[in-house]
Structure formats: structure tokens, C-alpha cells
Structure 1
Amino acid sequence: MVKDNLALVLDPVEETHRDTEELNWCSISLSEIIARGSRLEATVYDVEGRKARAVIENCKCEQKKITGPNGIAEAYTCARFKRNWVDRSRFPIFQPSSILELYPKPDGYIAENTGTNIDALRVKKGQVLVTCSGTIGKTTYVSDTLDNKIFSHDLLRISCKESTDAGYLYAYIKSDIGNKMLTTNQYGAVVSHIEASHLHEIPIPYPEESIRIEISRRIKDSFSLRDRANQLWDEAMDLLYCSLGLDDFWEFKCKAIDQNVNTFSVKLSNLAGRVDASYHNKLATAIIKKIYESGAVIEPLGSTSLSDKIFLPQRFKRVYVSKGQGTKMFGIKQITSLDPFTEKYLALGCLSETLQRELLLEPGMILVSRSGTIGNICIVPPHWKHWIASEDLIRVQPKKELEGYIYCFLSSEYGQALIKRFAFGSVQDHIDCEQVAEFPIPRLADKKIEQAINQKVAECNQMRAKAYELEIQALSILEEKVFEA
């Protein structure tokens, strides 16, 4: 009877079940809650930090501390001091944040009479450096590139008792597990600052010597490749400067700009639609003149002989997912690193095919920051293929045979000075694709030299990709033979 009164009979629908994701949870004692000010927010008790400690506790190999009586290393920080900045000196100083850069540049220069022991600030080859204030836990290994460089006090200097342990310690701190151990306390709460004494409490698995040597060798080979890549880069830059007749940039700048004169005249024919003084600055004018005097000609980056396309991806709604479930995405601050540090992973399936093509990176592409600090630039290495850079970076697809040469000039101090003249905006500097297309690129009369520069940059890029692969191999061995053994 009931069946006859049905208005519509629906066909059975096949249900689709998704696998339940692992819950991110932990148990917390009442005493710990009280100790944390009766806070009930999950962010106060970092679950990942607790999980990292559980992994270390379950490791089957011997346990030691990073420093201390049972430690594998010794660590120290330098005394705080007031910097006495000067325009130029024989004491260039680097900021801790620059340790992740492929080829760090000094933040400025300090005077010889600065009230501290300057030599004590120098880092030594074989040390492991860790940022200990601000964004803590960023690490690097001191190879030839950083050896004897001056860094500020906000950096832990760690020297291993056994030289073969340095690469292993770097890999441990660089790993997700080791980094969590360093940046969280025993309750999982995030630490905002660390001192050398804190390393007495940080456990480190200490496997058999063959495993430690296997990991250390790959790390040291990785940094050796980075050093060789930087040497090639210096050779390419020297060849470029020599071909264009360019001097040391600081000396050139002092000669080109009269510090006592803030006014100058510009011909109407040279306005180029810009009436802001920053565009017509004397330094840029002197650089252009110097390039022409060398016999080179200047072409805009957007010309068909130099590039195929200059574009900026459209803005889009971002759908973030967990690591391993999406595509790695990074922004402006990370483009100078070999392995851009990011916690952002994007769900590509939520984007259109057109937008995916615009966002996914290709080797040889040149990225240019378009707002804030404009002109930050990098060339996409092979291992970044199909990663994603944010839409705050303008993409340039140069001609294959010129990508290294173009990048070399735009990265030079002279190229950077010419880029920054295009900035506009009253509060925050900006540039757009049209202005990037106007970037002046000198073309040498001797095309063989252009190709030589291009080849050196290409080899430099390949070496850095191999260095990345070696580091990933070292981290994989650590994961498989130490954490999961």
C-alpha cells in the first residue's frame, strides 16, 4: 500500500568513501595546561614537535646530545655589539638570514673601530651554522663560500669534535625531525630563541660510523658543488665586466654621482614618459653611457631577439594541502635559496589548466620580484621544474641561447641599478610586465663572449641542481637508516 503512494522512486546511488586522514592530535596532562597559563589552544602544544621526540626516542641506535659532556660538538654565540656602519671598509658583514642564499652578499660594512672583536665574528670552514633568533633553526654548512666571513651575533656556531660528524649534524638539523627537536621544547611548545646551552638538551641519534660517513660525504660533496658553481658565476661576471669595460661598482658610483648636488636637468626627448627623478638618476645615465662606450648596443628585454614571453600569472584562490599532497609553492624571499624553504603546498587540481601552465616553473625561466623590494631576481634551476612561485614574481622566458647571459647582467650591480630606476609607487615600490620588457640589455659585438658567459651560467645552474640532489640523498638516508630503522 505504501509503495503505491510513492511519487518518485530513486535509483540507488553509489557512495564514494574517502580514506580517513590521520588525525593531528596529542594528549596533554592537566599540570602542563596549568603551567601554560590554562591555555587550551592547540597551537600552544605543537603536535609535530611531540611526534618528532617520539621518533627520536624510538630510534634503535645510540643516543647522544648535540653539545655537552655527552655531546658530539661544541657551540657558541658571539657577544652582542653595536654596529658602527660605514659606506665601505675591509669588514663586510653578513646577516644570519643570508646563510640560506646560494651566494650570500654582505648586508653592509662595519668600521674597524667597532666595539667588538671582529675576528671572533668570523665563521670557520667545517662549522655548522644555525639561526638562533627571529626565525630560528635555519642551518647551513660552512664551505669555501662562507669561510672566514663575518656574521652578526644572532648565529650559533657549532664545531663537531669529529670532522666526519659535521655533515651528519647538518643533515639532522636540516631534516624535519631534527629541526622540530631544535625549535620546540620537551612539551612541544615553539621556542622563540635558543642559546648554545640549549643544545645540551637536544638529543641526536648516533648511528654506526659508516652511516654517518655516508651522509656526511654527500653533504660535503653538495657544498663543494655549490662552491664550484659560485666560482663559475664569478668567472661569468668577470667576463661580462671586462667585455663592457665596467669597473668596481662602488668606485663607478662615487665617480658618477656628485653627493653635493641634488638637481639635474633632463632633455624633453629623454623623458620616456617618466617625470619622476628616480628614473632619470645620474647613476643610470652614467651606466648607459659606459655601455655604449664599450661598443655594445642596448636592446630592451622584451624584444623578440631576447625573449619569447614576459607575463604575470593572474591572481587566484589558493587551496593549501599538507606536505606530500600538493605542489611546493614559495615566494619572493625564498628565490635566492637552493631549496626554497616553505610550508605551503598547493592543490593543483583546483586550478584551471591555463593557470597551472602560468604558475608551474620551467628551467631557464627568469623570475623578477614586482613589489616591495623590486628586482630580486633568479634563474629557475632544473630541480625547480614544476614547482610553483607566487604571482608576485614576474616570469621572463628568455631565448635559450641567452638565458644565462641575460640573467648574469640583470643580477650584476649595474643591472640592478638599471632595474630599480623603473620603480613606481609612493608608499611601496612596484614594477609591471611592461617595465620589465623595457629593461636594457647590452649586446656584445663579440657573440662568442656572450655564449661563453651563457655557458658558464648554465653549468653553474646544473651544478647547483646536482648539489640539491646530493643533499636530498643524504636526508633520505637519514630518514631510512636512522629514523625508520
Structure 2
Amino acid sequence: MAMTASLEAESIDKETAFSLRAFDISSKWVHEGEARFVASAYQEGAIRAHDLIEKSEYPKKRLSELVSSVYHPTQSQPRSNFKRIWVSRGYGEPFLTGRDLFFFRPEEKKFVSRRMKKLHELKLPENTILLTRSGTTGYPVLVGKRLSKFAITDDALRVFPGSAPVGFIYAYLASWFGHALMTKSAYGATVPHLEAAHVLSLEVPMPPDEIIEEVSSSIVRAYSMRDEANILLDDAEEELYKACGSGAFHVDSDVQYSGKEGVRAFSASSTDVGTRFDPKFHIPVVRSAVNKLTSSGCELVSLRKCTNKIFIPARFKRNMSKVVLVSLICCHHKCL
């Protein structure tokens, strides 16, 4: 177990004091791990999570025993195999980046060519778990009906279900235990990275089957309801387009740019420019959307007439406080 202490220190200017957290670890953590000499690999949260799992009364299994495989497409082949060929809507498959995965309602904005040789490796079946492996690492997403229609970035770990229900594996990876143990293994000074081996080596407590099934069914049901909500939002959007008589608005087809293909250049009259000389203020997306609505016969009114009040809340200095995580291990009705 890591021993922690709070140390008081002074800043360079000798005027501001701040706290440091120091901890000691046993040499076994170095020898049994990857022999790493960076403090983040032995952070207090990960060691505490490991100790709590070890003290659990449930049997443990390695994640490698519970899933069929964990990998990312570029671990055994050059990333050049997945060079993205961007195309217009209708000529390719919708594509999601690692950031897009966490949107409640991922949209079809980017498209990769169907001529990509490795495109099939970017398409994933339902009930696959995706893990971010670069930057902000270790956050899971479960592939449902909506995500299965997209090509997913190669920079994400794929976790395929095995002997354990997929919802239970997801719940463990999304928990404080799973995330703390995964992120401690991340490497990279500037951009942290996670590999399949870091995930496969995780130790998972195995509660009774009825608990595992209950946890799994809750996760699967939650993602199923999320897909249903997205379908309802799609239907509502379609009804809105019908009511306006305008059809869906797509930036790649409804916005007209000048210049060579692939160059998004545009012009604006001096009347429209006014006192704003930043190009972002004059991009033709808004103008194209307004033109499409007016040409369909829709009456446009100011948002002011449809709302009660629009305002910016008061801005103030944030007084941040420390969050203390207290873990209780109860055994024989006694909290140790």
C-alpha cells in the first residue's frame, strides 16, 4: 500500500505556499510491473484500487480470460494502411474521430472513401467496447446500432466480448477501479498512450452470476435507450424539415464556396463586412441556411420573440475545493 503525506512548500517567489502530495511504495510494485520510474505509474488511486480489489471476497480473473480480444488496428501494421481518403456525402462511409465517440448524438459530418483497403477494419459490430488510447485515455464507449453505422478511428482500442457479458466488462472499465488501473499504465511524456496489454492485464473481481447479469443488462438497456432516443431525435428533425419544406441542410452540398476543389474560399460585400474583419464571422454557412429556409417559404422571426429571456450568467472567481475519496471495506458487518 502506498504511504502518502502532505508536504508544505513555497513557490519560487517565496510569497505563495502550496501543498505537495508525496508517497512511498514497496519495491515490489516496480519489479512486478514494467519497471517504470515515473510517479504517475504508481499513483495513489491506482494502488488503492488494486488493494481494494485484492481484499475483495470475490474470486478474481484477468480481463484476458473474460474477453475474446483487445487490439487497435495499427498495433501490428503501419498506420499508413489507414490513411483517410476524404470524400463527399454519398461517396463514402461516415467517420468518427475519438472525440466524436462521446457525443450523445454523433452526426454524419465526415466521410471516408469506400475504396480504402482497410475500411472493413474500421467498421465494428454492435456490443464492441471502444477505449480511448491517446490523450485522454481509458474512457469506454459501447457500440450500439447508431455507432455500428460509422467507420471508427483506428486510434481507439477495440474490446470484443468473450465469456463475460459485455455490459459487465463495460461497467468495470468505466468504474473508478478500471479507469485508475488503466491510466496508471499510460505512457508518453506529451500525449499519453494506452496499449492492449495494459487492458488485458487488469484484474477483475467476479461477483455471483446473478449480479454480473444484472449489471450487464442495466448497461445494455441504457445504451439501447440511448439509441432509441437518437431515433426519436432523428424523426423530430425530419418532421421539422418537412414542416419547413426545406429538406435537410448539409454543409458539404448546400454551402457554395469559390476557388479550387477542396479550398473553402468565399467573398463578402463591404456592406456585410461592416466593422468585423475576422473571416469566421462571415462564413457562408449561416447565409446559406437562411437562404434555404426563405426560398422554401418559411417565415423567419427573431429568437427574441420566441423566448422569455436570453442572458449570460454572472461571472465570478471559482473557489476550488479538494475532493476526498473515502472507500469503506465492510467485512462481517465491520468497517475496516
Change (3 A) 1:72 1:255: closer
Structure 1 residue 61 and structure 2 residue 58: aligned?
A: yes
Change (3 A) 1:252 1:204: closer
Change (3 A) 1:320 1:233: same
Change (3 A) 1:281 1:219: closer
Q: Give the superposition deviation at 1:31.
A: 7.9
* Aligned amino acid, residue 311 of structure 1: I
Deviations 1:408-456 (A, max 9, x none): xxxxxxxxxxxxxxxxxxxxxxxxxxxxxxxxxxxxxxxxxxxxxxxxx
Q: 2:96 aligns with which of 76, 94, 111?
A: 94
1:120-269 → structure 2 map (5 Å cutoff): 120-162=121-163, 165-185=165-185, 192-250=192-250, 253-254=253-254, 256-259=256-259, 264=267, 266=269, 268=271
Q: State whether residues 157 and 196 of structure 2, in contact with CA within 8 Å, keep that contact through their aligned partners in structure 1.
A: yes
Q: State whether residues 95 and 107 of structure 1, in contact with CA within 8 Å, keep that contact through their aligned partners in structure 2.
A: no
Deviations 1:310-356 (A, max 9, x none): 2143131332320679xxxxxxxxxxxxxxxxxxxxxxxxxxxxxxx
Q: State whether residues 99 and 139 of structure 1, in contact with CA within 8 Å, keep that contact through their aligned partners in structure 2.
A: no
Matches of 1:222 and 1:102, distance apart in 2? 12
1:10-409 → structure 2 map (5 Å cutoff): 26-29=23-26, 43=40, 45-67=42-64, 70-79=65-74, 80-81=79-80, 82-88=82-88, 89-106=91-108, 108-114=110-116, 116-162=117-163, 165-185=165-185, 192-250=192-250, 253-254=253-254, 256-259=256-259, 264=267, 266=269, 268=271, 274=276, 278-301=280-303, 303-322=304-323
Matches of 1:263 and 1:106, distance apart in 2? 24
Q: Give the superposition deviation at 1:306.
A: 1.9
Q: Secondary structure at the match of 1:124?
A: coil
Q: Give the superposition deviation at 1:250.
A: 3.5
Q: State whether residues 76 and 196 of structure 1, in contact with CA within 8 Å, keep that contact through their aligned partners in structure 2.
A: yes
CA RMSD of aligned residues (A): 3.6
Deviations 1:61-91 (A, max 9, x none): 1211111xx3444222213334233241322
How many residue pairs match? The answer is 297
Matches of 2:266 and 2:107, distance apart in 1? 32
Aligned-pair identity in percent equals 21
Q: Secondary structure at the match of 1:320?
A: coil
Q: State whether residues 167 and 216 of structure 2, in contact with CA within 8 Å, keep that contact through their aligned partners in structure 1.
A: yes
Q: Secondary structure at the match of 2:160?
A: strand
Deviations 1:108-147 (A, max 9, x none): 2222333x42112111111111112222101011111212
Matches of 2:52 and 2:231, distance apart in 1? 40
- Alignment partner, residue 412 of structure 1: none
Matches of 1:284 and 1:225, distance apart in 2? 33
Matches of 1:28 and 1:140, distance apart in 2? 33
Change (3 A) 1:295 1:272: farther
Change (3 A) 1:480 1:119: farther
Change (3 A) 1:317 1:133: closer
Change (3 A) 1:152 1:206: same
| TM-score, reference length from structure 2 | 0.74
Change (3 A) 1:55 1:215: same
Q: Which moved more, 1:303-312 or 1:134-143?
A: 303-312
1:455-474 → structure 2 map (5 Å cutoff): none
| Structure 1 alignment gaps of length 5 or more | 1-21, 326-478
Matches of 1:142 and 1:99, distance apart in 2? 9
Q: Secondary structure at the match of 2:148?
A: coil
Deviations 1:251-271 (A, max 9, x none): 774564444695656374x66
Q: Give the superposition deviation at 1:213.
A: 0.5
Change (3 A) 1:299 1:276: farther
Q: Secondary structure at the match of 1:74?
A: strand
Q: Which moved more, 1:204-213 or 1:81-90?
A: 81-90
- Alignment partner, residue 367 of structure 1: none
Q: State whether residues 64 and 72 of structure 1, in contact with CA within 8 Å, keep that contact through their aligned partners in structure 2.
A: no
Q: Secondary structure at the match of 1:214?
A: helix
Q: Give the superposition deviation at 1:197.
A: 3.0
Q: State whether residues 95 and 106 of structure 1, in contact with CA within 8 Å, keep that contact through their aligned partners in structure 2.
A: no
Change (3 A) 1:62 1:236: same
Q: State whether residues 63 and 206 of structure 1, in contact with CA within 8 Å, keep that contact through their aligned partners in structure 2.
A: yes
Q: State whether residues 140 and 173 of structure 2, in contact with CA within 8 Å, keep that contact through their aligned partners in structure 1.
A: yes
Matches of 1:179 and 1:252, distance apart in 2? 38
